[in-house]
Structure 1
Amino acid sequence: MLYALAQQAALSIQLTRLAEEAKQAAVFQERSYIATEVHDTLAQDFAGVLMQLQAFTALNPLDSNQAQIHFTRAQDLCKRGLVEARRSVWCLQQDSDQYSHLLGLVQHFTEQLSVSSPMPIHFESQGEPYPINPEFGRHLLRIVQESLANAIRHANAHAIQVQLLYASEQIAIEIQDDGCGFDSQNPPPSGFGLQGMQQRASLIGAQLTIISQPGRGTAIMVNLPIA
């Protein structure tokens, strides 16, 4: 009897340890993903800044039009790099329990991003907000962040609209821009992170829909059924 109890206690301890290790592995994986993303985006953007500034200094001072073009491009790349840095740092600062309150997170993030974004980001919500599973909230927030990052980096948009709807049977989010768009049936090789967003949606049982046409902007919609 004592042996059985000891075995049960040992098993319980082992399961607790494995659960904690799994949690730590998930945190490490998420932070590794963010670190990789920061490295890729910031390295590319600031390498581009360096090239533009080098071209700027090499130009004949009389060629003011070309100089201004390179200087403007460098400014744009700096703005994009700053957006990425703030987004990634903000992600690392969030407590897991805060993901239950999606409205506050999305609203705060869009406001912070608007400060350094080259185009305005408008946010609005409908319905009475309610807490959700923190894991669901985390993935939904990441989808919003990736959608906004794509719009800022690739869309050449004049404005971005974010809408969050709370209904009794679902939570719906739409991120829409008026940028260059793309063929959603034949997305670019880079994918703009679309596969990652689809994977996040699938993990929580949500449906992700992407509507885009060249020259007509892009709309990304995610619907999470609420049991």
Structure 2
Amino acid sequence: MQHSTDHLTAIAEQIQARFPQLAADPVMAQSLEDNVSSMISEAHARYAAGAGSSIVSDAFLDPAHLATGALHAEQAQHPAGAMLAAEMLFDAYLPIFVEEVGAVDAPDILRATRALHAGIWNRFPAGAIAYTEALRQRASSAHLDSRTQIARDLHDRIAHAIIAGVQRVDLVLFTDPPAPMGVGHLEDAARLLRAALSEVQDLAVALHARVGDDLLDSALARHLADLFPEEAAVSISSRGTPVPLPSWKSEEALTILLEALTNWRKHAPDSTATVHFEWSATAVTVTVSDDGPGFDEDEETSGRLGRRTMQERAALIGAGFSVTSRPEKGTAVSVSIPIGAL
């Protein structure tokens, strides 16, 4: 007896109701339907073959199942969610499956239970490995992008300022007798070198971003006091009840927010910036917005280094990430971080 399409559709709808993000994404919704149907078909095949064992983790890693795990990682869907969906499927479909295969006595019911368990479970080892590998690749990419950005900042912002300052000192030292404008050159040199020192301090603060025992909004306020000690153009507001985040999430989130604010000061130094925290029972959404010159999103390349690095970091913690901007209308960077251990 073949499995019931109506029953599977009803169970898929139950799973989608538990995970609204699946229903909202056509790719993930189709993947769910395909996987549910495939699991039940495999369970029928195992029962028909007389397979008595439900142990499947020592089997080969099916490329199709690896692809599913990679898709979940791409969509920031934690494997625990897939495991919960599988439990829902097993719980709802077991009595239907027993009836479909015609199991009536205890040995047949046990074999049906094992077949259904194996059909559902056998893709999780591959899926978990693919998910982990995808996250490792993202972590590596984010790390390399961060190193590239630091190297670029050291070369473009700091080294150039130091060289310009040294050249002005040389103009004074190599002129005999000293040039009448020597004092002016030295003042310019001092200004450039002080700016370079400030850039180094900013990089040091960004590299040492730590949340510790603070809440995320408090940690950000503390770091802003170090990064922008004389800056009155940044304001922080919060709505809802702040709660602690897992340290690995809060550290990445803080790095994203500091990067967004550093970009603001670099590209819109004469504007004001606001940081708003919106806390709910399931997530905290943080929006960094400014009233600067903005840019045309249609012309902006999505591969821009800072933006790509923030997006990679957001993906690592399962956070939503977006950048919106319009010419002369400012820019807003938003990151939505799930609350909880997963």
Contact kept, 8 Å, 1:170 with 1:224, in 2: the verdict is yes
Give the distance between the partners of 1:92 and 1:47, measured in 2 at CA: 18
Which amino acid in 1 is paired with 2:235? Answer: H
Task: Establish whether residue 86 from structure 1 lines up as the match of residue 198 from structure 2.
Answer: no
Label 1:93 to 1:130 Cα distance change in 2 as closer, same or farther (>3 A).
same
Q: In structure 1, what is the equivalent of residue 328 of structure 2?
A: 215
Gaps of 5+ in 2: 1-138, 173-178
Larger radius of gyration: 2
The 3-state SS of whatever aligns with 1:182 is coil
Q: In structure 1, what is the equivalent of residue 104 of structure 2?
A: none
Task: Establish whether residue 183 from structure 1 lines up as the match of residue 291 from structure 2.
Answer: no
Shift, 1:30, TM fit: 8.1
The 3-state SS of whatever aligns with 1:215 is coil
Q: In structure 1, what is the equivalent of residue 4 of structure 2?
A: none
Q: In structure 2, what is the equivalent of residue 13 of structure 1?
A: none
The 3-state SS of whatever aligns with 1:115 is coil
TM-superposition CA deviations, 1:138-191 (whole Å, max 9, x none):
111111011011111122432221122222121011111122211223325871
Contact kept, 8 Å, 2:149 with 2:305, in 1: the verdict is no
The 3-state SS of whatever aligns with 1:98 is coil
Q: In structure 1, what is the equivalent of residue 153 of structure 2?
A: 41
1:61-140 pair list within 5 angstroms: 75=191, 79=195, 81-93=196-208, 98=212, 101-115=215-229, 120-140=233-253
TM-superposition CA deviations, 1:47-98 (whole Å, max 9, x none):
432565558969x989xxxx99xx5xx958954x455433432345456x71
Q: In structure 1, what is the equivalent of residue 311 of structure 2?
A: 198
Shift, 1:132, TM fit: 1.0
Identical counterparts, % of pairs: 25
Q: In structure 1, what is the equivalent of residue 109 of structure 2?
A: none
Contact kept, 8 Å, 1:174 with 1:220, in 2: the verdict is yes
1:157-176 pair list within 5 angstroms: 157-176=270-289
**TM-score calculated relative to the size of structure 1:** 0.66
Contact kept, 8 Å, 1:49 with 1:78, in 2: the verdict is no
Give the distance between the partners of 1:152 and 1:103, measured in 2 at CA: 19
Give the distance between the partners of 1:150 and 1:135, measured in 2 at CA: 23
Give the distance between the partners of 1:55 and 1:105, measured in 2 at CA: 40
Which amino acid in 2 is paired with 1:177? Answer: D
Give the distance between the partners of 1:77 and 1:216, measured in 2 at CA: 34
Select the structure that is richer in strand: 1
Shift, 1:32, TM fit: 7.3
Which amino acid in 2 is paired with 1:46? Answer: I
Contact kept, 8 Å, 1:83 with 1:116, in 2: the verdict is no
The 3-state SS of whatever aligns with 1:214 is coil
Give the distance between the partners of 1:190 and 1:157, measured in 2 at CA: 26
**TM-score calculated relative to the size of structure 2:** 0.46
Give the distance between the partners of 1:84 and 1:161, measured in 2 at CA: 22
Q: Using the TM superposition, name which of 32-41 and 155-164 deviates more.
A: 32-41
Superposition RMSD in Å: 3.9
